[in-house]
Structure 1
Amino acid sequence: MKKLLLLLFCAPAMVWGQRAVGGPCEGCEAIHESQVPFDRLQAFTRLPGVTDSSPNRLGINGVVFQADGKTPAPNVILYIYHTDPETGIYPRKGDEKGWARRHGYIRGWMKTNHKGEYKFVTRRPAPYPDRTEPAHIHIVVLEPGLKEYYIDEYLFDDDPLLTDAVRKRQLNRGGSGILHLNDVGEGMFKAERNIYLGRNIPGYPSSR
């Protein structure tokens, strides 16, 4: 009995990584490279390279909802990364390890608060140098009890590379990722995206 009580006392409050969903996801394991322990992550993050005077700043916020589409989902980990605003490459400083060698240093982590809210500030990324894809921000989700999976990238509805054909290819994983940017002045743009756990995610358990 004492041993059982000790195990219960020592058990973590949140358990991730028990069930795989969403299909193949190259690089999604980078979500585990956060230098801040998951239980200490905040709902807000400012990505590297952005200051209060940077041009083309983006403030993106939203609510993560559970599969019912109505109940806020707390304690969900979000990992984002994107290219730099000038060249469209994933910039590196030269000492990166793990997936940072591919994703670069413009990346960040958040954990939704008790209202399911999240927010991040960054600069608008540039498209790849060959301009084969619209500019985008990658996002990976990790919720309690499941392994990490990707959802639709953040895209910008005023991007000329976001053609009708590209729009039709979107799978709406987690809901639409296409953002409408509002110019709030002084080089700052804001947008909102709510995320719906399990929406269009293959293998997602129906009981959640």
Structure 2
Amino acid sequence: MYYSKNALFICVISLFLCSSCQGQQTNTAIIGGPCQGCEAIFDYGTKNLTAIDTLPDFAKAKPTLKLTGNVLQKDGTTPAANIILYIYHTDRKGLYTPKTNAKGWAKKHGYLRGWIKTNATGSYTFYTFRPAAYPNRSEPEHIHITVKEPLKNEYYIDSVVFDDDPLLTPKERESLENRGGSGITQPVIENGILTVKRDIILGANIPNYE
């Protein structure tokens, strides 16, 4: 009887240790700090993500915008594959307008949302249109970006902002954290479309990043 209890005790301890080890291997690193709404990055559902996405109203809203760039590892050189990016922004009235019967984060972020997953080159492109500032013009025009790396939790980086935006004042520029690198972009016309480039460096100025 004593042997049986001892054997059972060892078995239970072994299972506990095994579970603990597995938990350590599968838990994601908690990085980036609080991030309200970052879980919306998983709203793509069953959509097959590629390195290019086109947001609603791209064909009719003006000015059309191509947001493109490269996602790089922390060294700032090596391309980062299998990185999911989620973006959302206001409409031309400066509002996050939801679709009828929208639920969850689609109700708060509006219908102007998109997702990509980088390939081996680390490049990405979103086709959309330039957002408007909030009606009270309290902040510069911007496009929110959330990042999801393998084995890490989702986190936000500096929004895309536009260097020619009069609301991007010196004070606003100084307040930017450069999370993921600088979000200030230089709008240029390429092939008839307003184009901005926003490279993303994983881990740059991200708290608790390893």
From 88, 91, 107, give the equivalent of 2:97: 91
Q: Which amino acid aligns with 1:97?
A: K
Equivalent in the alignment of 2:111: 105
Equivalent residue, structure 1, for 2:201 = 196
Identity of aligned residues (%): 51
Shift of the 44–16 alpha-carbon distance from structure 1 to 2, 3 Å rule, reads farther
1:57 aligns with 2:64: yes
Structure 2: runs of 5 or more not aligned: 1-24
CA contact (8 A) 1:157 1:179 kept: yes
Q: Which structure 1 residue ranges, 5 or more long, are not aligned?
A: 1-14
Paired position in structure 2 for 1:161: 167
Is 1:172 the counterpart of 2:178? The answer is yes
Whichever residue aligns with residue 205 of structure 2, its letter is N
Which letter maps to 1:88? Answer: G
Counterpart-to-counterpart distance in 2, 1:43 and 1:69: 19
The one-letter amino acid of 1:71's match is: T
Number of residues of Structure 1 aligned to a counterpart in Structure 2: 186
Partner SS state of residue 135, structure 1: coil
Cα distance, 1:66–1:126 mapped onto 2, change above 3 Å? same
Return the match for 2:44 from 9, 30, 34. 34
Contact 1:21/1:201 (<8 A) preserved = yes
Question: What amino acid maps onto 1:25 in structure 2?
Answer: C
Structure 1 residues 126 and 17: alpha-carbon distance in aligned structure 2, compared to 1, 3 A threshold = farther
Deviations 1:90-137 (A, max 9, x none): 011221111111000000100001100100110100000000000100
- Shift of residue 184 of structure 1? 3.0
How far apart, CA to CA, are the structure 1 residues paired with 2:173 and 2:113? 25
1:129 aligns with 2:135: yes
Match in the other structure for 2:51: 43
Root-mean-square deviation (CA, aligned residues, Å) is: 1.6
Say which one has the larger Rg.
2
Matched, 1:150 2:156: yes
What secondary structure does 1:73 align onto?
coil
Could you state the TM-score of these two structures normalised by the residue count of structure 1? 0.86
| Conserved? CA contact 1:16–1:144, under 8 Å | no
Give the Cα separation in 1 of the matches to 2:61 and 2:133: 19
Whichever structure has more helix as a proportion of its residues is 2
8 Å contact kept, 1:152–1:170: yes
Say whether the 8 Å CA contact 2:145–2:156 is kept in structure 1.
Answer: yes
Shift of 1:35: 2.7
